[in-house]
Structure 1
Amino acid sequence: MYLTENIVCNSFSKQVLIWFPVLLIYFLPIAFQDGVGSDYPTYYNYFYNGDHIYYFYKNEYLYYYLVELVRYLGIPQLQFVFISFIQTILIFFIIFKLKNNGYLGWLVFILFFMVTGIYHNQMNGLRQFVALLTLPLILLYIYENKRVKAILLSFFAFFFHVSSIIPIIIIFLLNLCYKKINHRLFLIFFLVSPLLYFYDWSSYIFNFFSSNELFYAKYEDSEFNVNKSADGIVLKFLSLPFLISFLWLFYFKNKDYMGDRLMYLCICLWSLTHFMFLMSINIGVANRVYLYFVFFIIFPLYYICVKSRIMFLFVILFYLLFYFFKVIVFAKSEYMYFFNGAWL
């Protein structure tokens, strides 16, 4: 991707041809995974037991009919092939659109791959990560004032995973007001948000769900609401030195916040949601909402990488080392990969 950065493509199809080797390498491990993550057997067995009817009644029609198509074709692994194809197209279309907005595509891809954890986690959370990868595109279309496309993508995400309605609403509301709010207020919220998110809101949230007979009330006593462990939370603070550097460069050294309006919009969204993972200490299911916004940590890190070569080296070396230990040395769950050799 680095070698082709200067090749300008006006259409995504042409860009796909140029990036095809990278797309193929990205696509294959997800498509032909075998037993990766705790949810793999559940998804795989939908081919045989028909329990995916549950998602039809949840209004997740797109996922339901995808499984129906796989059952019709008679090959259970095709579910992962189709999901991998959708996820691959989504992430590279995001990078294509960012590249056309002046961003370095190769740098966005590196940060996405090493920092966000989305690539490995999407092998376990098939439905949610299709919806998750739709959100940056919704934001990009809103930024381009292509609201019809943004709304259509919102329905696409919702019919894959209904929980996506929460981040979709946040994105649309933020777009209405972020230009009118003083940029320092986003900084202040970022600084105080750890205290807000750390507070135990569980009783208020689930009482609200119950009193309004909302679907998510049932998660209060479910396995999805298991609180996150302390070690998993602590690891998320490892990026803090880089984020502090970003805050200094962006809020105190930057004189034109709206010079790159797309960057500013993404930074505003990141500022509001970055510490949301702290809610999962008391409300385990809150981590599912937090995951929708993980992609946007790319933007503060991208900012410091392009502003300082030294910071670029530090960021790349740190996350390369972190990725090596997480994926190679201490791999577990969705980070422990197995290939479906039956296809060879």
Structure 2
Amino acid sequence: MIYLLFIVVNCGYLSLLSKCRKLSLGQTLLFGLPMLMMWSLLIGGQYNVGTDYFSYMEMFVPGANLAYVNESRGEYAFSWFVETCQHLGVYGQGIFFVIAAVWSVIYLYIAYSLVGSKYIYLFLFVFIVFTGAFNNQMNGIRQYFAMYLLWLAIILIRKKRYVVSIALFVVIPFFHQSSLVVMVIFPVLYYWVSEWRKSTWLYGILVTGMICSLLISDDVIAFFLPYFDQYSGYFGSEKMDSQKSLLILTKYVCMPLFLYAIYIYPRMDLTNYQRKLFVFGLCGYAFKLSVVSMSLVSRLGLYFELFSCIPLVYLLIYLKMNSRKLVYILVLIYLLLPYSLKVIMGNTGEYSYNFFLSLN
């Protein structure tokens, strides 16, 4: 229930802010402090979240041996981050709070860059209830660190902050090596496929993702697994197998909304850049669908989570701007209902919540 409370409080607060005059980035960060603090407290304060929680806690204590991420995985940037926190006197659960705070600021900066201050509340709503990233992020800290930095680097390219962006692209693989694969896929989808803007092409992209999700399975991964021994422990694990059917089902739930967004797309008042983002986000959703049946590779689909929100956010903005109130509310309910069921009825794994102080 605490996640639903977070949505109500923060989306409501940001919605009220949206009624003010257009805010600058600095003003948005300032007035967004309550949301940033709640995000940091909620996510950073989780206890025993994910399968690697206690492994990370062992890394975060003073004098911890970080050879695992340095020598076996080459993820030196993450170990540097941990060592920097420890040098500043932050240990254990405190590092989780720092990580959550960093991610929340990056998220707010990206959301502002994509939709401005007026519709951040819609972006936050879709990001939480649709992607699952908000609940899952502490279940894969190194990968989500790479994801947030990659999303930031892409936004900075648009802002012509090339030096910072290039520096991030260099650093990102040293948080999680899987980002190297995505760095090849992203430019293809962003600079080439995103130019396919006819509705027939967009429907085709979506259908292709659906077909791939039905035809491609873990058998493909089993063939290549011997070449990636460091990830073999995740393959075929009971946790991943038990979640696969539910994961696939939840990804298909939003298919009608994407189809509706494509139908509305020609009527949306979007700039050329926004149309590129719409198609890129659609490609991201299709890619997530295409790999969702493959337990290990499905992790690559996580890199597209933030941008896959964009078609749905633009759909909601269109409905709101054109006084389609009933449809607008129905879409919000359609998005919220599956998430609410997972939080209230499922209440397991990343959708359950334990605060670290309540267990001490």
- Alignment TM-score, normalising by the size of structure 1: 0.84
Alignment of 1:182-197 (within 5 A): 183=198, 184-197=200-213
Partner-residue secondary structure (3-state), 1:34: coil
Q: 1:122 pairs with 137, 149, 154, which one?
A: 137
Measure how far apart 1:195 and its partner are. 1.8
Residue type matched to 2:179 in 1? S
For residues 140 and 71 of structure 1, the distance between their equivalents in structure 2, rounded to whole angstroms, comes to 30
For residues 327 and 76 of structure 1, the distance between their equivalents in structure 2, rounded to whole angstroms, comes to 27
Residues paired across the two proteins, number: 332
Matching residue of 1:249? 264
Q: 1:279 pairs with 274, 286, 291, which one?
A: 291
Measure how far apart 1:255 and its partner are. 8.0
For residues 23 and 339 of structure 2, the distance between their equivalents in structure 1, rounded to whole angstroms, comes to 31
**Are the aligned partners of 2:196 and 2:279 in contact in 1 as well (CA < 8 Å)?**
no
For residues 245 and 115 of structure 2, the distance between their equivalents in structure 1, rounded to whole angstroms, comes to 37
Q: Deviations over 1:78-115 (max 9, x none)?
A: 22022112111111111121244x86122111211222
Q: Deviations over 1:161-181 (max 9, x none)?
A: 121122222222334324654
Partner-residue secondary structure (3-state), 2:32: helix
Alignment of 1:136-215 (within 5 A): 136-178=151-193, 181=196, 183=198, 184-200=200-216
> Is the counterpart of residue 8 in structure 1 residue 19 in structure 2?
no
Alignment of 1:18-29 (within 5 A): 18-29=31-42
Alignment of 1:1-344 (within 5 A): 1-5=14-18, 6-10=20-24, 12-48=25-61, 50-57=64-71, 58-72=73-87, 73=89, 75-100=91-116, 104-178=119-193, 181=196, 183=198, 184-200=200-216, 217-218=228-229, 221-224=232-235, 226=237, 228=241, 229-250=244-265, 253-254=266-267, 259-275=270-286, 276-281=288-293, 283-308=294-319, 309-341=325-357
For residues 70 and 224 of structure 1, the distance between their equivalents in structure 2, rounded to whole angstroms, comes to 32
Cα separation, partners in 2 of 1:131 and 1:320, compared to 1, 3 Å: same
For residues 236 and 38 of structure 2, the distance between their equivalents in structure 1, rounded to whole angstroms, comes to 34
Residue type matched to 1:218 in 2? D
**Are the aligned partners of 2:268 and 2:318 in contact in 1 as well (CA < 8 Å)?**
no
For residues 90 and 314 of structure 1, the distance between their equivalents in structure 2, rounded to whole angstroms, comes to 30
Matching residue of 2:8? none
Cα separation, partners in 2 of 1:239 and 1:293, compared to 1, 3 Å: same
Q: Deviations over 1:223-245 (max 9, x none)?
A: 24546522321122111221121
Q: Deviations over 1:28-83 (max 9, x none)?
A: 11222211222211111223584532211323112112222345536311220221
For residues 268 and 349 of structure 2, the distance between their equivalents in structure 1, rounded to whole angstroms, comes to 45
For residues 150 and 103 of structure 1, the distance between their equivalents in structure 2, rounded to whole angstroms, comes to 26
For residues 182 and 96 of structure 1, the distance between their equivalents in structure 2, rounded to whole angstroms, comes to 25
**Are the aligned partners of 1:158 and 1:165 in contact in 2 as well (CA < 8 Å)?**
yes
Measure how far apart 1:187 and its partner are. 3.4
Residue type matched to 2:351 in 1? Y
Please, which moves more after superposition, 259-268 or 21-30?
Answer: 259-268
Measure how far apart 1:326 and its partner are. 1.2
Residue type matched to 2:66 in 1? H
**Are the aligned partners of 1:209 and 1:217 in contact in 2 as well (CA < 8 Å)?**
yes
Measure how far apart 1:265 and its partner are. 2.2
For residues 125 and 204 of structure 1, the distance between their equivalents in structure 2, rounded to whole angstroms, comes to 23
Partner-residue secondary structure (3-state), 2:254: helix
For residues 172 and 236 of structure 2, the distance between their equivalents in structure 1, rounded to whole angstroms, comes to 22
Cα separation, partners in 2 of 1:33 and 1:195, compared to 1, 3 Å: same
Measure how far apart 1:203 and its partner are. 6.4
For residues 225 and 290 of structure 1, the distance between their equivalents in structure 2, rounded to whole angstroms, comes to 18
Cα separation, partners in 2 of 1:193 and 1:277, compared to 1, 3 Å: closer
**Are the aligned partners of 1:305 and 1:311 in contact in 2 as well (CA < 8 Å)?**
no
Residue type matched to 2:310 in 1? F
**Are the aligned partners of 2:40 and 2:98 in contact in 1 as well (CA < 8 Å)?**
no
Q: Deviations over 1:274-315 (max 9, x none)?
A: 24344342x311111011112223112112212223332112
Consecutive unaligned residues in structure 2, runs of 5 or more: 1-13, 320-324
Residue type matched to 1:302 in 2? V
- Alignment TM-score, normalising by the size of structure 2: 0.81
What is the percentage of aligned positions where both structures have the same residue?
Answer: 23
